[in-house]
Amino acid sequence: MIRLAHISDLHCYSPTYDPRQFFSKRWIGNFNALFNRRLQYDAAPSEALIALFNELNVNHVIISGDLTTTALGAEFETARRFVDNIESTNKQVYLVPGNHDTYTRASLKGKIFYKYFENQDLPFTMKEGGIALRPLGPRWWWIGMDTSVPTPLFSSIGRFSHSIEERLEEALQSIPPGDKVVLTNHFPMFSTIHHSHDMRRCDALRAQLIRWPCVKLYLHGHVHRQSIADHRASGLPIILNSGSCGFKRRATFHTIDLSEKSCLVRVYSRESQGKDPCNWVLREEAQFDW
Ligand SMILES: [Fe+2]
Ligand SMILES: [Fe+2]
């Protein structure tokens, strides 16, 4: 059995007063961080979460993007320290970028995310082809996708491009028959009523995944509202959105127990009552058999 923790949308933030922010859309995210986000989110992830992962005997941690708020170096350093602290407890961290990790054109062009979080797993390096492929444990594989793109002001779209589609096909073809896959992407695979927030060509991703039943789970973030949706009747994977673990109140994350025949998802939420702000409690469980 492999036990994963799935967290997302940490949104580490570090307000800046640098006037150069007005040459990019960073001023919007910074303004929002100063007057709105800091009331709702912790500036850095809670270290209590790492202690909890140890208590829960978590083997690996998956982070589905938006580690930062405006892709600022100081925010990446905070996120990198958090990941280092998880890794120092003998866990592997599997992560993908979100739209906030490529917030400005310069951060996307300079691939700043990969200066802090570069995967070296040949031949699938996410920095080059947008797809990472790593073993998770016996007969289970992790595939991560980078679908972030440059976005104009007030837009936070992603794009499942033709080249990522081709690279995903290559990765799936390399999975040994009978093995199973956990696919992680920042964006949901269905569009919403908020078109400026969706991933483009998500219909192409769904059409591709219907051909690959070895993909059992699709983990995403972006929508800061936890959800579990079983789409197997439509030939799609079980879709898990862990919500945001960065909230001061109503933060959530999942643990996922993977075995050959089943998967058990547990939802943890950070309760706002009481004196301890880091009081994580088990809220619900969902079991799925293959
Ligand atoms: Fe987010
Ligand atoms: Fe996002």
Q: How far is CA 263 from CA 124, 199, 271, in A?
A: 26, 27, 25
Q: How far is the CA of 1 from the centre of ligand 2 (A)?
A: 30
Per domain, the residue ranges of the chain are 2-289
Three-class secondary structure of residue 78 per DSSP: helix
pLDDT along the chain (290 residues), means of 10: 97 75 67 71 86 97 96 94 97 96 82 89 89 95 94 85 98 97 98 88 98 98 96 98 90 96 95 70 95
pLDDT for 273: 66
Global pTM reads 0.93
Q: How far is the CA of 268 from the centre of ligand 1 (A)?
A: 18
Angle CA(182)–CA(113)–CA(180) in degrees, nearest 5?
10
**Which of 3.30.70.1450, 3.60.21.10, 3.40.640.10, 3.40.50.300 is the CATH number of 2-289?**
3.60.21.10
Q: How far is the CA of 251 from the centre of ligand 1 (A)?
A: 12
Q: How far is the CA of 260 from the centre of ligand 2 (A)?
A: 32
Spell out the residues 6+ positions from residue 282 whose beta carbon is closer than 8 angstroms to its own.
266, 267, 268
Beta strands in the chain (DSSP E): 2-7, 60-63, 92-95, 131-137, 140-145, 158-159, 180-184, 199-200, 215-220, 227-230, 238-241, 252-258, 262-271, 279-289
pLDDT for 32: 74
- List residues, by chain if needed, whose CB lies under 5 Å from ion ligand 1: 9, 66
Q: How far is the CA of 3 from the centre of ligand 2 (A)?
A: 25
> Nearest bound ligand to CA 196?
2
pLDDT for 151: 79
Q: How far is the CA of 110 from the centre of ligand 1 (A)?
A: 21
Cβ proximity of 142 and 178 under 8 Å: no
Q: How far is the CA of 222 from the centre of ligand 1 (A)?
A: 4
> Nearest bound ligand to CA 224?
1
> Nearest bound ligand to CA 11?
1
